[in-house]
């Protein structure tokens, strides 16, 4: 299977459609609007932000926030999107069309930088093995202050 990251929008859409079909779900305007918005903005969205943006871009669809939540959950269940947790303050989602990576978050401005480190991943596997765990997933978030925010002080 082709890695999701390299898909054009058309291909991504096809993937989405076949997931829908194989689950007896329907392809709707709202679902497409949400997918397209995620695709066109490579940012990290809270459901709320995404909802506002979809409303702004496709006002005629009158998409409700309920549908945004439902669609994000659907995408996540089917590995087309991933979510990041931020304590009590909810989640942020991103399209899963990127290779695995982790996040570094600036505590001042909220900027999220993505990175990937295979050495760390290998060490994680080793640790899991040592404790008898079979890893299914992991979460790594580094918190700090970015160059920009430090310059401003």
Partner DNA sequence: CTGTGTGCAAACATTTTGCAAGCAG
Partner DNA sequence: CTGCTTGCAAAATGTTTGCACACAG
Task: By CB under 8 A, name the binding residues for a second copy.
Answer: 83, 85-88, 90-91, 104, 106-107, 113, 115, 117, 119-120, 123-124, 127-128, 131-147, 150
d(CA 67, CA 34): 9
Given a contact cutoff of 8 angstroms between Cβ atoms, the answer to whether 114 and 105 are in contact is: no
Q: Which does 42 bind (CB under 5 to 8 A by kind): a second copy, DNA, none?
A: none
CA distance 105 to 25: 36
Ramachandran area for residue 82 (φ above 0: left; ψ -120 to 50: alpha; else beta): beta
133 lies in the binding site for DNA (CB under 7 A): no
Q: Which of 13, 46, 52, 102 binds DNA (CB under 7 A)?
A: 46
Q: Which parts of this chain interact with DNA (CB under 7 A)?
A: 20, 24-31, 46-48, 61-67, 69-71, 73, 88-91
């Amino acid at each position: 299977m082709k890695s999701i990251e390299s898909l054009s929008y058309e291909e991504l859409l096809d993937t989405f459609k076949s997931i829908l079909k194989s689950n007896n779900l329907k392809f709707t305007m709202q679902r497409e609007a949400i997918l397209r918005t995620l695709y066109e903005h490579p940012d990290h969205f809270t459901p709320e932000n995404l909802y506002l943006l979809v409303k702004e871009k496709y006002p005629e669809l009158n998409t409700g926030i309920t549908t945004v939540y439902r669609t994000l959950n659907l995408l996540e269940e089917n590995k087309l999107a991933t979510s990041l947790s931020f304590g009590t303050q909810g989640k942020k989602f991103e399209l899963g069309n990127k290779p695995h990576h982790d996040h570094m978050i600036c505590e001042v401005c909220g900027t999220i930088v993505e990175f990937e480190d295979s050495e760390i991943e290998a060490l994680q596997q080793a640790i899991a093995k040592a404790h008898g765990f079979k890893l299914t997933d992991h979460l790594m978030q580094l918190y700090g202050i970015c160059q920009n925010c430090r310059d401003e002080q």
